[in-house]
Amino acid sequence: MRIVEGTVAVVTGGASGIGRSCAVEFARRGAAVVIADINEERIEETVAALTEGGSRAIGIRCDVTSDADVARLRDESLAAMGRVDIVMNNAGVALLGPPESVPLDDWRWIIDVNILGLVRGAAAFIPHLLERGSGHIVNTASIAGLYAYSWDSIPYITSKFGAYGLSEGLFAYLKPHGVGVSVLCPGLVTTNLGETARIAGTEDRDGWFSLPERLLANPISAESVGPMVADAVEADQFLILTHPEDAIFLAERRADLESSLLAEVGGAPIPPLPKRQTT
């Protein structure tokens, strides 16, 4: 779909990082933008920057783990803008640690944000998009949703695999009805995700939480992601990779998954076991 004057975009997690970059780019192309976030100070700053630049923008505080907040986001967006064309479910969090030591409450937290947050956003806006027979949903997953790049990020990887699977299913369901779906799977992007990240299960962090060299080789700025996403929406493109080399890597990996998994294990350092308390 074309992003033109009169297009309306709703972006969760839209006050910083990738979400803000996409909101800014949607506005630059003519869209009115609803910035949804839990950080009210950043909402105000982002909305002010957009309106000072001549764009129409409003901010709505929204916790994507709250059914009521997401329903209110839909209702207030439609009341203020009259319609919604693009829904970007972007809010996300990170959780790291050895899987047997991560508390179940932390597992529930990351699933509630990274998977159910997308489910709530999609469910809230799908009836409106289907009624109009047009529009586009963008779900932010990660390269972690396409392959398990590290044994120290299993909770995060699990949530992002879910985000990717949800997106494929939504594509199959909505595409015949005129509604597009994209899934954003960024590689290493400089954002503020670490501000809310949780690290669980070990006090001795030496040797833990290291990304593979191939992911560390080419970090990009959050500001560079917005144009990629807007281009993909306009091209009705499903998979959005921020790093072109990932497409080659994933194709080679999937051609012989068994051998690729064994090679990755063989070439990686042995994960340290968490220190146990002794009695």
Residues annotated as catalytic (active site), given as ranges? 156
In the chain, which residue ranges form alpha helices assigned H by DSSP? 17-28, 40-52, 67-81, 104-114, 116-132, 154-174, 213-216, 225-235, 244-255, 257-267
117 within 8 A of 66, measured Cβ to Cβ: no
77 within 8 A of 130, measured Cβ to Cβ: no
| Edge-to-edge order in the sheet of strand 239-241 | 57-61, 32-37, 8-12, 86-89, 136-140, 180-185, 239-241
Q: Say how far apart CA 244 and CA 110 lie, in whole Å.
A: 28
In this structure, what are the phi and psi dihedrals at residue 128, rounded to the nearest 5 degrees? -65, -45
